[in-house]
Structure 1
Amino acid sequence: MEYIALILAVAIGYGVARVFQKREFVQLPIILAFSGAFLLSTTLFELLPEVFENGGEHIGVFIMAGILLQIVLDFFSKGAEHGHVHIHTEQKAFPLALFISLSVHALIEGFPITGHDTIFYGIIVHKIPIAIILALFFQKANFSNTTTLVFLTLFAIMTPLGSFLMAELPLLQSYAAQVNAIAIGIFLHVSTTILFESSKNHNFNLSKMTAVFLAVVLAYFL
């Protein structure tokens, strides 16, 4: 059921993008701010304490490695993981660099899902607005529906695949704390970037501020 829910999150994002393809989706920045705050909160409340408890004194190195890895992925994806796609292309070929970087990101974010229900919810909430933004980008860039659906389908599969590999591979399980620490670094980078980019000129409007506080409270009580 978790695997299906992760795929459905991307499908929901695509469906919402189809509804708003011919008009401005003014609520999207608020949804994005909520998702960033929720992902950050679930990471801090559930995953981070466990990793420091089980990972030993050098676990911070792996968290930093995750942050640096996400910076590298951002170079190729142009910020798609945190809600911005700045790719300009004349031809409509399959955007391979974007796909690879997003796939690595999505695969790693699937690793900590096993045994962490709150993180699972955080990733679900994160995936929906990202799928909306990706689908809207493909539509505005006049990519074919086939290209859009193939991209989003493969992207949707990556996170369940990461969760499956963590559940089935003893090697990953042996280094679960270190692998999850890398995922934490990715989550920290992505979620804080979403929050910073949601506040133009360092100003939060009331709607975004309410969404952020609601996300934090909701994550705390889950």
Structure 2
Amino acid sequence: MSYILLIISVLVGSLLVLVLKPNNKIVRLLLAFSGAYLLSVTILHLLPEVYGHTHDAKKAGILILVGIIIQSVLESFSKGAEHGHIHLHSDKSKFPWLLFVSLCIHAFSEGLPIHHANDNLLWAIIVHKIPIAIVLTTFLLNTNYSKQTIIFFLSIFALMSPLGVLVSDKVTFFNLYHTEITALIIGVFLHISTVILFESSENHKFNFQKFAAILLGVLLTVFTLS
């Protein structure tokens, strides 16, 4: 079921662009909510799980920091698309391979801890992928690529997180080092979610709508975490 839901999340994001054409304000609200939800699940579920299954707290902390660094490197190529920032390049006929590959690596890594986690993480990633799919679809539609090309690359992106779940489930290495890999992914999640939240208020002005979206994401996690 997790495979299908992760694919549907990308489909929903793409359809929202085609049908509703959401503006930047709506996308930012979705990002704020997803960032708060993802951060809450990371702190309330993933962190206790990692530190509860490791005998070396310092090693776990180092791996979390490495995850933060890895995501920082990926964002230098993706131009921050993971948290809603994406810009059209000057040559619309040239496919942005670095951006796309970095997004796919990020999506694949998101799927790795899902198999061993509860449903809250799955839903946090689903919610996070919808605005990212909106941003990516909007970007692709504003290029000179054919519809077939756009559908092809969106399909690849949609399959990356399910592939991460499958690899984590079937490959022995990922099962043996599940705790260490989860620690790395915690770093990735912490980087993404905190950047989203820090950028949620422009010019450091209080925005009630975005604050409400963030608060809703936190409260939803607190009251549903099993």
TM-score band (shorter)?
over 0.9
Q: 1:8 matched to which residue of 2?
A: 8
What is the Cα deviation at residue 75 of structure 1?
0.7
Q: For 1:221 and 1:157, locate their aligned partners in 2 and report how far apart those are by CA, in whole Å.
A: 30
- Over 3 Å counting, the alpha-carbon distance change for 1:3 and 1:17 in structure 2 is same
Deviation (angstroms), 1:100:
1.1
Out of 152, 155, 161, the residue aligned to residue 154 of structure 2 is 152
Off by >6 Å, runs of 4+ in structure 1: none
Rounded Cα–Cα distance in structure 1 between residues aligned with 2:80 and 2:27: 16
Amino acid at match of 2:81: A
**What SS does the aligned partner of 1:141 have?**
coil
1:129 counterpart residue number = 131
- 1:151-208 CA-partner distances (Å, limit 9, x unpaired): 2110110101111111111111111111001110000001111111221112231111
Aligned AA for 2:163?
A: L
Match in the other structure for 2:38: 39
Partner residue of 1:85?
86
Q: Secondary structure at the match of 2:113?
A: helix
Give the structure 1 partner of residue 64 of structure 2.
63
Unaligned runs of 5+ in 1: none
User: Aligned-pair distance for 1:218?
Assistant: 0.3
3-state SS in 2 of match to 1:85: coil
- Number of residue pairs aligned between Structure 1 and Structure 2: 221
CA-based RMSD of the aligned residues comes to 1.4
> What is the CA deviation profile of residues 79-115 of structure 1, one whole-angstrom value per residue up to 9, with x for unaligned ones?
0111111241314233211121011111111011013
Name 2:179's counterpart in structure 1: 177
The answer (yes or no) to whether the contact 2:92–2:143 under 8 Å persists in 1 is no
SS in structure 1 of the partner of residue 23 of structure 2: coil
Q: Is the 8 A contact 1:79 1:85 kept in 2?
A: yes
Name stretches of at least 5 consecutive residues in structure 2 with no aligned partner: none
Q: Residue 114 of structure 1: SS of its match in structure 2?
A: helix
Structure 2 residue identity aligned to 1:111: L
Contact 2:87 2:139 in 1 (8 A): no
1:54 CA drift (Å): 1.3
Structure 2: how far apart are the matches of 1:49 and 1:89? 45
Relative to the length of structure 1, the TM-score reads 0.95
In structure 2, the partner of 1:96 is 97
Instruction: Give the stretch that moved more between structures: 167-176 or 4-13.
Output: 167-176
The answer to whether the Cα contact below 8 Å between 1:110 and 1:160 also exists between their aligned partners in 2 is yes
What is the alpha-carbon distance in structure 2 between the residues aligned to residue 219 and residue 206 of structure 1? 20
How far the C-alpha of 1:147 sits from its partner, in A, is 2.3
